[in-house]
Amino acid sequence: MTTPFILRDVVGEDAATSLRVSDYAAHILSWTPASQHTSALWTPNTMAFGEGVALRGGIPVILPWFASGYSVPRRENLSYAPKHGLGRVNFWEYDAQSSHSHLRYTYAGSHEDFGTFHADYEILPSSDELTARLTLHNDNDHPVTFEMALHTYFRVGDVRSIEVYGLQGASYIDAAHGWAEYVQDSTTLTFPEETDRIYLSTADTSILDPVLSRRIHIHPDGTTNTVIWNPGEAGDSFPDMAPGDWRHFVCIEASACKDGAVSIPAGGNHSIAQTIRVADLTPEHSAL
């Protein structure tokens, strides 16, 4: 028997806030706060649900490895599959005690290199803020190094017109340019081409979006780095996106990946979280 692909539509007490979550992958697909007409998150117009299929858009939950995995002692990328780990391609268990303002999921996994582990995922929507908190538990009798991330796809009017604030002075590893290390001198990050960077930063960031006339504020917690990604025109060749879709999102990911992977002691746990707020752009809001 195959497991049904359940989508949960949650409307806030204010009747104006809405959230959609898939039990498959505990994947938040949309969140529209009371002040907005469109979701703060981007998903493709058409999504194919299938066991083992990684959903694009929304907030993919990444564990126990990021991308194809990484060896901290050897400082090199590995070749685990599926890309971005097991949590993104499995059903999670929905806690029936969840409420419209506090949804809970759990997932238990195992892997020859990570042993046994389990994760709790809490989703806390309010009328003006969304917090997603992922806690990973090491169920082994020895410490294990894990990667984890909330790989959020933010909806933007046109990625080529946005500015991302909060990263000035931060060093980053540029995966789109040979994994070289740089320091961001400028106040803002813009997206004239493919961008794929791991910032060694745990600072708040914000997206200034002149097309949708709003600012999205992003607060990470428990992270060791921040991944920022948009494929640029290469996105036109992605099979699960329509031509031009890449213009309408930017990923700003609350992460603990690569050299920022976390060593969790036997029986211990580690949490990362991301809190999102959206505000309309007004003259008063135009400065950070």
Ligand X SMILES: O=P(O)(O)OC[C@H]1O[C@H](O)[C@H](O)[C@@H](O)[C@@H]1O
Total number of residues binding ligand X (CB under 6 A)?
12
Q: Which of 26, 29, 167, 175 binds ligand X (CB under 6 A)?
A: 175
Q: Which of 227, 250, 261, 262 binds ligand X (CB under 6 A)?
A: 227
Specify whether the CB–CB gap between 170 and 183 falls below 8 A.
yes
Which one is catalytic: 84, 147, 219, 253?
Answer: 253
The answer to whether residue 67 forms part of the interface with ligand X (CB under 6 A) is: yes
Helix/strand/coil (H/E/C) assignment for every residue in 206-240: EEEECCCCEEEEEEEECCCEEEEEECHHHHHHCCC
Is 253 among the catalytic positions? yes
Helix, strand and coil content of the chain, in percent to the nearest 5, comes to 10, 45, 45
Which one is catalytic: 27, 151, 219, 270?
Answer: 151
Q: Which residues ranging from 234 to 273 are in contact with ligand X (CB under 6 A)? A: 251, 253
Strands 163-165 and 129-138: unpaired
Which residue minimizes CB distance to ligand X?
Answer: 229
The answer to whether residue 84 forms part of the interface with ligand X (CB under 6 A) is: yes
d(CA 259, CA 25): 25
Residue with tokens 């999670």: 92
Is 76 among the catalytic positions? no
Contact set with ligand X (CB under 6 A): 54, 56, 60, 67, 83-84, 175, 196, 227, 229, 251, 253
Residues belonging to the active site:
151, 253
